[in-house]
Structure 1
Amino acid sequence: MTQNTQMRTPAIIAIVDDDDSVRGALESLLRSGGYKTRTYCSALEFLDANASTETHCLVSDIQMPGMSGVQMLEQLVATGYHIPTIFITAYPGAAPPAGAHAPELVACLPKPCDADRLLNCIEAALLQKH
């Protein structure tokens, strides 16, 4: 039995990506896995929504207009929010250096990401959070 199915309420996964199709696909995948999702089209939208307190795991693109995923995570950590984070990127060179933002950074996956690998990373993130 996975961690998520043992929890009383479904974990809330925030998806931050400027690409509508990626957000939709990730939302569909995660909801089918039993998670509650919240989607945001930018890092600033996520931060402005004050969703940090209810987010159990963050799945974010790295390169987005305005504020990058890395900058968003840095701001979250600086303000005391330590949300397990999975970065996804279509640009392998955009990946943060190994060990950056530890322990918040759970994984950095290439786009398109393998569904099973992403779900495994989310389970690992939820174990880290609780």
Structure 2
Amino acid sequence: MSHPPVIAVIDDDPAIREALEDLIVSLGYRPLLFVSAEDFLAFPGRSAVGCMVVDIRMGGMTGLDLQARLNAQGKPSPMIFMTSYTDEATRSKAMAGGAHSFLAKPVDAEVLIGCLASALHESARQG
């Protein structure tokens, strides 16, 4: 029996983490929750992550900082950015860095579900 895909949620807002955890579990995936980019980078099981849902602005490293660090280390899992800060410069930088999606908060659940499925499909093709 195969393991359910693992989705990392990296967001400093506990309410967002909790809501995403519930959604991810309801879809049959396995959530891993991180309060910061630094916590995610320190996690030894990162290679098992199928995709990531990442906030742009957090205390410490930003989502874009995390993206740059992961890109420097090799091909990261697909990243879905969710942010309240949807300026074009931030979106362009995220997409140029290889982001799978760039979504404005509050995110429509159906849109996010589609992005997760697409990102996991992309991740499976890379693997």
TM-score normalized with structure 1 length: 0.88
| Alignment-derived partner of residue 40 in structure 2 | 46
* Partner secondary structure for residue 47 of structure 2: coil
Using the TM superposition, give the Cα deviation of residue 125 of structure 1 relative to its aligned residue in structure 2, in angstroms: 0.5
Contact 1:85 1:107 in 2 (8 A): yes
Residue 84 (structure 2) pairs with residue 95 (structure 1): no
Kindly indicate which of the two structures has a greater share of residues assigned to helix: 2
CA distance in 2, matches of 1:88, 1:50: 24
1:74 to 68, 71, 75: 68
Q: Which runs of 5+ in 2 are unaligned?
A: none
Amino acid in structure 2 at the alignment position of 1:97:
S
CA distance in 2, matches of 1:51, 1:18: 20
Contact 1:87 1:108 in 2 (8 A): yes
Structure 1 stretches of 4+ moved >6 Å: none
| Alignment-derived partner of residue 4 in structure 1 | none
Q: Which runs of 5+ in 1 are unaligned?
A: 1-6
Amino acid in structure 2 at the alignment position of 1:96:
R
1:1-130 equivalences under 5 Å are 8-93=2-87, 95-97=90-92, 99-102=95-98, 105-130=99-124
Total equivalences in the alignment: 122
CA distance in 1, matches of 2:70, 2:26: 28
1:29-83 Cα shifts (integer Å, max 9, x gaps) = 1101111000000000000113321100000001111100111011011011421
CA distance in 2, matches of 1:51, 1:76: 14
CA distance in 2, matches of 1:119, 1:101: 22
CA distance in 2, matches of 1:50, 1:18: 20
TM-score normalized with structure 2 length: 0.90
Superposition RMSD on alpha carbons, in Å? 1.5
Identity within the alignment, %: 38
